Amino acid sequence: MTIVDTCFLIDLMKGDPDAETVTQLHDPLKTTSISSAEFLYGAKKSGKKKVYDVSEKFLHFFPVLPFDAESAVIYADIASALPGSGRHISTFDELIAAIALRHDEPLVTRDRHFSIIEGLDIVSY
């Protein structure tokens, strides 16, 4: 199985051909509770009820992996290591990466900054 991040969810919903190809190559796809929250926040922020409703239904196609106690330990390692190395990504992305590492699954993303996280297997599209 493969975990998808927030940008992938957005791209797939918009019908991006590269994202659609990933769905054929990496089945089944899952996402994280963090990506789900970011995705729904963006839909809510649009101010359009229909966009939010469609986005919420869209997420039902993806099993959602939670941020749990084991993910918290991994997140702490990531978050404490990156600033000391002069590198940093958003807290949300650190949380997403922690969940992917906790489940030992690749992360599908177009965001290259995930590559700074040691041990994280990235599937680019």
Q: What kind of architecture, by CATH, is found in domain 2-124?
A: 3-Layer(aba) Sandwich (3.40)
Q: Is residue 41 scored above 90 in pLDDT?
A: yes
What pLDDT does 86 receive?
A: 66
What pLDDT does 59 receive?
A: 97
State the number of CA atoms in the 13 A half-sphere of 79 facing the CB. 14
Domain ranges of the chain: 2-124
What pLDDT does 84 receive?
A: 66
What pLDDT does 115 receive?
A: 92
Residues 6+ apart with CB under 8 A from 124: 109, 110, 112
What is the pLDDT averaged over residues 67-81?
96
Q: Is residue 78 scored above 90 in pLDDT?
A: yes
What pLDDT does 58 receive?
A: 97
Per-residue DSSP letter, 67: -
